[in-house]
Amino acid sequence: MAIKRYLIVNADDFGQSSGINRGIIQSFENGIVTSSSLMVRWPAAVEAANYSRGQPELSVGLHVDFGEWAFRDRSWVRLYEVVPTEDMRTAAAEVSRQLAEFRNLIGREPTHIDSHQHVHRSEPIRSVLVEVAKNLRIPLRDLSPEVHYCGDFYGQTENGESLLNNISVAVLTKILANLPAGFTELGCHPAEETDLDTMYGAERVRELSVLCDDQVRQAIRQMDIELCSFDNVARLGL
C-alpha cells in the first residue's frame, strides 16, 4: 500500500521586512503556506512574532542568520555579515543568542531550524545546528531524515540569473506530482513587495501569486497530498 504524502510549505525570511511578512501572512491565510522560518535580528521580527503567537496552525522555526550574499556585476558580494562563521565558538554563541531571542519573541521553542542562504550546509555551522536540533528534538533542514527538503520552487539560478518562468502554477504542480512518500518541506519566499536590499526581489512577489492560486490547492487535493506543518512531525514522534 502506498505511503501517504505530507507537505509542509515553509516560507523563509519571516521578519526580515514588512513586505515579506505580509506576503507570508497572505500565503498562509489565502494560500498553501503552513510554516515559516523567523529571522529574529530584523526590526520586522516583532510584528511577525506578534502575528504568529495568535496562529497556532502556523508552525514557526528559527531561520539562523549569519549574513547575506548577492551576485552583482558578475561576482558575489557580501551585503552584510553578522559574525564570522569560521570559528565554531563564535558561531555557537551567535546561534545561542538568536535562539534566545526567538524564545523571547515567540514564547516557545522553534518547531524546526534552518538558515539564511543555507549556511548550515557547511562547517562549523553544520555541527553547531546539528547539536541544537538534536537537543531540541526538532528537524534541521536537509539533515533530518524524517523530513525531505525540496528547494525546486525558486526563481533564480545559482548565479542569481532570473528564472521567473520557474515560478508558475504549472511548474509547482509538476513539483507536487513528484513528491516522495512521507514528509516533504517545500521551501518558498513570498512577499507582497520588495522593500529590502536583496538579490531575490521580484521573484518573491511572483511566488505569492502562485502560492495563493486556487489551481494549486485543487492539485494538492487531487493528488491526495495532505498539507501539514512541522507540528505534525513532532506529534508523530518522528
Predicted confidence (pLDDT) at residue 78 exceeds the cutoff of 90: no
pLDDT of residue 72: 80
- CB neighbour burial string for 24-39, b if at least 16 within 10 angstroms, e if fewer: bbbbbeebbbbbbbbb
Classify residue 118 by burial, with Cβ atoms within 10 Å: 0-12, 13-18, 19+. middle
Per residue in 203-229, pLDDT (tens digit) is 999 999 999 999 999 999 999 999 999
Predicted confidence (pLDDT) at residue 1 exceeds the cutoff of 50: no
Confidence of residue 236 (pLDDT cuts 50, 70, 90): low
**Least confident piece of the model among 68-77, 94-103, 105-114, 154-163:** 68-77
| Domain covering 5-235, topology | TIM Barrel (3.20.20)
Domain boundaries, given as residue ranges, for the chain: 5-235
Quick one: which of 22, 36, 45 has its CA closest to 192? 22
**Least confident piece of the model among 1-10, 125-134, 135-144, 164-173:** 1-10
Contacts with 212 (C-beta within 8 Å, 6 or more apart), sequence order? 26, 27, 30, 31, 32
